[in-house]
Structure 1
Amino acid sequence: MTYRSILVALDATPANGARTAIAIALARQFDAHLIGLAPTAVLDAQVMQTAAAMADAAAAASERLLDEAMAIAQAFRKRCTSEALPSFEALADPSPASTSLVLRAQCADLLIMSQPDPSLPGHRLQAAELEEVLLSCAKPVLLIPYTHREPVGTRRVLVAWDGSPESVRAMTDALPLLRRAAQVTLMHWRREAQGSAPLAHLAGIRQWLAFQGVDAEVRDEVTTLAFGDALLNAASDTGADLIVMGAYGHARWTERLFGGVSRTLLASMTAPVLMSH
């Protein structure tokens, strides 16, 4: 298993340049085809209400947004060309971000996005779009902190495991990166001692990783902290360059509810996070 096709979300935020550089570096690392996708930005509620009252204004606003997406895609194309990336394409899509990214990710092995910057206008909308992508995407999503400017490191990787299908899938989806890591820590947290049962199962997971070419250290810890906080503390203690975890959530009627651990990481991530749902 490897990443043969990588999709990177393009936008007009300050983090776009660093995200593009990370995507280009990963494409080189895995000899992968790189797809830059610039979806049409979503108009905020006030603009939509104003535009709805005037059909011509609405059409003009949509055309302007598509022009902006095309300009972003063109800038991505020029950057890949200037860096002599062997295989790439740049796309502008009139669809909203979550719809566009979820659909296009079906034709890629990995999707790269950024943590929304809370200081920027439209943060809540961007966070909601990201949650929708994480809960609907069929492929793993590599999230880059909005302050992160360096390539994604794999010297020390922290894998959060709780036995759920999401955590197992994330661990499997991360194998191309885990195989390149110098140190992999497989961690499990619980509220109270449960005998040797968790350790026995973790030993089986460690053996499976060894079969996949990954040598992992196993840690099973009892904690009184919220699991999201325990995960962030462990990432700091181990000096993790990358965190691997499941994206937890479920649908209730038409509302998407995101798990507490996932929300904690999205709000406070200190290193890139690979998530799978």
Structure 2
Amino acid sequence: MARERIMVTLQGDEKDRATVEAAARLARGIGATLDGLFVEPDASAYLMWTGPGVAAATVMAGAVDSIREESDRCAEIAKQTFSGVLAGFDSLAADGRFYRVSGTVSEVAVEARLARYVVTDPQSMAGNGPLADFVTAVLIDEQVPVIAARAGMMPPETIHIAWDGSKEAARAAAASAPLIANAKRVMVLQSDKGIDYSDRRSAPPERLIDWLSDLGCRAGTIEIDDAGDVGEAILDSSKGADLIVAGAYGHSRLREFVFGGVTRSLFQAVDGPSLLAAH
């Protein structure tokens, strides 16, 4: 029986194949099952029209029907893509399950509660596209680790862990344990910039390195250049890595959005290593 469950998001377009392939390689590498999740658009949101008149309501109802038809089409494409990729992974094909779910974002996000990771595309992690709100709800509300599958190898051979001693960083590091166990090289990235006073006691990288040693991992350290944006410094120091592990939203999401921050820089990266984020 597989030890872990991984879930991959699907939207029924050309982006799905690369994401499912990355998730399948990851699942095979750590002995996990893989579930595909297609999240339907919430049609009820399109009925929130406040103008008068029966004719307008009829037009809106027709629009909802069109949305449902498009959702049916995308769901079938997503299912075919998911099944087609898994057919090339004998160890996953028998256990792979496809789910089509509907409802509000908070309702469908609970589907991820028993997953070790939710694997998604970089655009959704960055807050773009139809899955953006779902991915945010999984990460923030359900506190399930999310992996944005970029160009990094899956399962990753080289892992960089961004460490500042915060609860978010610790959660991300703990979530990455199954990946660390199979990695060939692990490096701890640290900067003294922006460390909260409450995290000073846990911030020294030696604490994380001791924990990693219990996993049989001999990790090194990289002191990143903190002269500018810490998020950009993490990305610059992680060229050649397969995966960055980082805590997400140590500050409020509003502050991150308005003023920028490490989370925003890592989420908005167009290329580079894949990203594992936890909150």
TM-score bucket of the superposed structures, by smaller chain: 0.7 to 0.9
1:111 aligns with 2:112: no
Match of 1:67 among 66, 72, 86: 72
Match of 1:228 among 228, 231, 234: 231
Q: 1:77 to 1:153 in 2, by over 3 A?
A: closer
Q: Do the aligned partners of 1:157 and 1:241 also contact (CA within 8 Å) in 2?
A: yes
Deviation at 1:198, TM superposition (A): 7.9
The equivalences for 1:250-261 within 5 A come to 260-261=261-262
Structure 2 equivalent of residue 264 of structure 1: 265
Separation (CA, whole Å) in 2 of partners of 1:21 and 1:180:
19
Give the residue type in structure 1 aligned to 2:273: A
Aligned positions, number: 260
Q: 1:94 to 1:126 in 2, by over 3 A?
A: closer
67-76 vs 15-24, greater mean Cα deviation: 67-76
Q: 1:40 to 1:205 in 2, by over 3 A?
A: same
Q: Do the aligned partners of 1:249 and 1:257 also contact (CA within 8 Å) in 2?
A: no
Structure 2 equivalent of residue 166 of structure 1: 168
The equivalences for 1:8-157 within 5 A come to 8-41=8-41, 53-54=57-58, 55-75=60-80, 76-81=82-87, 83-84=89-90, 85-95=93-103, 99-100=107-108, 102-116=109-123, 123=128, 126-145=131-150, 148=151, 151-157=153-159
Give ranges in structure 1 of 5+ residues lacking alignment: none
* Structure whose residues are more often strand by fraction: 1
Structure 1 equivalent of residue 187 of structure 2: 185
Separation (CA, whole Å) in 2 of partners of 1:142 and 1:72:
23
TM-score by length of structure 1 reads 0.79
Q: Do the aligned partners of 2:26 and 2:155 also contact (CA within 8 Å) in 1?
A: no
266-275 vs 199-208, greater mean Cα deviation: 199-208
Deviation at 1:220, TM superposition (A): 3.4
Deviation at 1:256, TM superposition (A): 8.6
Deviation at 1:226, TM superposition (A): 1.0
26-35 vs 57-66, greater mean Cα deviation: 57-66
1:241 aligns with 2:242: yes
Structure 2 equivalent of residue 207 of structure 1: 210
Deviation at 1:74, TM superposition (A): 2.7
SS of residue matched to 1:123 = coil
Separation (CA, whole Å) in 2 of partners of 1:25 and 1:96:
30
Q: Do the aligned partners of 1:178 and 1:214 also contact (CA within 8 Å) in 2?
A: yes
Q: Percent identity?
A: 28
Give the residue type in structure 2 aligned to 1:63: R
Q: Do the aligned partners of 1:156 and 1:181 also contact (CA within 8 Å) in 2?
A: yes
Instruction: Say what the alpha-carbon RMSD is for the aligned residues.
Output: 3.4
Q: 1:256 to 1:99 in 2, by over 3 A?
A: farther
Q: 1:151 to 1:48 in 2, by over 3 A?
A: farther
SS of residue matched to 1:116 = helix
Q: Do the aligned partners of 2:12 and 2:78 also contact (CA within 8 Å) in 1?
A: no
